[in-house]
Chains A and B, each alone.
Chain A
Amino acid sequence: MYCVKCGVKLQDGVTECPLCGTPVIIPGEELKERHETYSERYPKENMQMKFGILGFITTVMTAASLTLFLLCMNLYGRVSWSGYAMLGMALVWIMGVLPLWFRRPKPVVFIPIDIAAICGYLLYICLYNGGGWFLSFAFPVTLISGAILIGAVALFIYVRRGRLYIIGGLFIVIGASCMLIELFQHITFATPMFQWSLYCVTVFSAVGLFLIIAAIIPPLRDYMQRKFFI
């Protein structure tokens, strides 16, 4: 069996020439089994360097937190402002460093973890200040934003088509959630109902509706693409 382009003799069973990539086609003949000359397994990716860097960042952050803690204990005999800094650092670590330890971090797993961490941080701030705004405001607002984010990411990853519909829908959902947020604001802080969120709803819904209409009418979509491509 020879490569028609390079003229070299090939091993039995190869489907293309290793030199030029020309496919091997022999009409009316079955392809023979290829005998592998080397082991087919590949060694694991070298992760040493990555783990080294991550380990370094983790160590630095831990050391900084510890220093703050000791400083605070020395000055006030209790954890005061350093609590914000330490937990803030933990939050950054969970959001920025933790996913990198994994080979292929799945956003659908890590976004809920991040949301939980943010909730925890807000809860700490609320309890420390005795604010009482966590359950009625911060918690539901974080949950709503988180749910929208997860939904958006999941749709973008798992649905390959209809991006324009997805984006349009998202705009409308974001507009609607603004009203919900203002509702919680009203309940917690006794602000007047539905002021700023009305503007948001109008603008976001208009944009969202326009995108959906553009998705429905292909000529409009093409026109927009021609005018606004980057």
Chain B
Amino acid sequence: MKKQWFRLDNAALIFPAIKRRGWNNVFRISATLRDDIDAGILNRALADIRPRFPTFFVRLRTGFFWYYLEEAATDVRAQKEYAYPLTHMSQSELKRCCIRVLYFENRIAVEFFHSVTDGTGGLVFLENLTARYIELRYGVVIPKEAPIADLGAEPRGSEICDSFPKHSGRFAMSRREATSYRLHGTREPDGFRHLITGMVPTEKLRGTAKSFGATVSAFLAAVMAESIKEIQERECPERKLKPVKITVPVNLRKLFGEETLRNFVLTLNVGFDPKHGDYSLREICDQMTFQIRSEAVPQKMAARIAANVGPQRMFLVRIMPLFVKTPVMRAIYAASGEKKGCINISNMGTITVPPEMEKYIERFEFIIGVQLSYPNNCSVVSYGGVTYINMIRSIKESELERLFFSKLVALGIPVEIESNGRAGK
């Protein structure tokens, strides 16, 4: 039988090129159910949804000119979670399968290599997997309305296509931007990832954000920026202060009305320059809101897409062998990729599931891995009236987390903290 294969989408191209022996770009979405997970049923659910979601059950292969995704040769099976979240996905693992399905007590988690999909696509996958699992386990029927897919149907073309070229603008926007301040600390020698989950009531968070005239994303970005500002002020003399910028991913599906399950996301770096003077939290909130609103519009996003798609279309680039392309991409990434922001705050928004599923699911979580050079990252998701703010770090110091969460507490938002070990034991 002919093997199915997929070209990498435009945003996915960079991830295989920049992966390192001890690091690559992986994120994780998990659903916590009310009962313990039955591995056998989970494996059946995985097998059931495989034909409907072919772009997820893939492995990373190397062509002569490009990397590509090929359907995984073997069954993808659920593994018992054996270590801390987002353990390194090695080269040999990517060659077998680019996703990892894990279960631990009553939680199903899927860890994705970023070339496969982005957060939104990953969530659709997890929701469908969980829905199928609940159907098999409890014998209920879940209506097949978006995001739950009809497993009998063929995957739609619009789901598996790369949407970037379709929406590329005619003129590219310059990527030039000021370099931001960089967080740093003592690296954990064995690659351990500390995870701190802050749980806050969504209504309270939304209310506080509204009182600052901001959305939840802009508000959290502002509080984070203020925390980073304080860390920087402690370390640097005034004349050496650098801009504090937060990287915020923008889901392009909403802007362009797409439904692809591949990557379709671009990031914005929003922030302020502390050299200009002291900003209060309200002023930072205004900056964030204004910058996100003015940048996240289809016209400007199309121009940003054009800057990314342009090189991929150039004939000279296309005929360059992969072993030449990879170092070039790495150099470009090193020069620009991670120097324009201090931390990511990826907000998935509020997850809604069909009412038939609701009573079985306790919570959802979304965790992104750390970047190559900056040690902290943050991801946010809301479900069932609780917002889960996950802060992951590869260093020992928890100063940023402490500042961030105590600021929320000081603003009158109650925060409950969970952590994954070492510290706090």
Which residues of A are in contact with B by a Cβ distance under 8 Å? 3, 6-11, 14-21, 34, 36-43, 45-46, 48-49
Contact = CB atoms under 8 A, between A and B. Distances in A.
Given A9-B415, A46-B21, A39 B84 contact: yes
22 contacts: A6-B405, A6-B406, A7-B410, A7-B415, A10-B416, A10-B424, A14-B424, A14-B425, A18-B196, A18-B401, A19-B402, A19-B406, A20-B398, A21-B398, A34-B425, A37-B197, A38-B195, A38-B420, A39-B80, A42-B84, A45-B190, A49-B21
- Please provide the 4 A-B residue pairs with the shortest distance between their CB atoms, ordered closest to farther: A18-B424, A18-B419, A9-B416, A19-B402
B423 A7 contact: no
Nearest to B195: A38
Task: Name the prevailing secondary structure of the A interface residues.
Answer: loop
Residue from B83, B195, B417, B419 having most chain A Cβ neighbours under 10 A: B417
B82 interface: yes
B414 interface: yes
Residue from A10, A17, A37 having most chain B Cβ neighbours under 10 A: A37
Given A19-B405, A49-B21, A8 B420 contact: no
A38 B406 contact: no
A46 B22 contact: yes
A49 B20 CA distance: 11
B21 A15 contact: no
A16 B424 CA distance: 5
A40 B84 CA distance: 7
B328 interface: no
Contacts of B191: 46
B409 interface: yes
A16 B83 contact: no
Nearest to B404: A19
A209 B420 CA distance: 55
Contacts of B22: 46, 49
Contacts, number: 94
A15 B84 CA distance: 20
Residue from A3, A18, A48 having most chain B Cβ neighbours under 10 A: A18
A16 B104 contact: no
B424 A15 contact: yes
Contacts of B425: 14-16, 34
Interface in B64-94: 80-85, 87-88, 90
Interface of B: 21-22, 80-85, 87-88, 90, 104, 190-192, 195-198, 398, 401-402, 405-406, 409-410, 414-421, 423-425
Contacts of B85: 38
B2 to A, nearest CB: 34
Contacts of A45: 190
A227 B142 CA distance: 83
Contacts of A16: 423-425
Contacts of B83: 38-39, 41-43
A8 B21 contact: no
Nearest to A21: B423
Contacts of A46: 21-22, 88, 90, 191
Given A18-B196, A46-B21, 13 more contacts: A6-B402, A6-B406, A7-B415, A8-B409, A18-B424, A19-B405, A20-B402, A37-B418, A38-B83, A39-B83, A39-B104, A40-B421, A42-B190
Contacts of B190: 42, 45
Given A38-B85, A39-B84, A46-B88, A19 B417 contact: yes
Contact of B417 (A18, A38, A41): A18
A142 B85 CA distance: 53
B340 to A, nearest CB: 28
Contact of B415 (A8, A37, A41): A8
Nearest to A52: B21
Nearest to B401: A19
A17 B409 CA distance: 15
B424 A8 contact: no
A38 B84 CA distance: 6
B385 to A, nearest CB: 16
A48 B192 CA distance: 17
Contacts of A48: 21, 90
B26 to A, nearest CB: 14
A22 B88 CA distance: 31
A16 B406 CA distance: 16
A4 B315 CA distance: 62
Contacts of A6: 402, 405-406, 409
Nearest to A42: B83
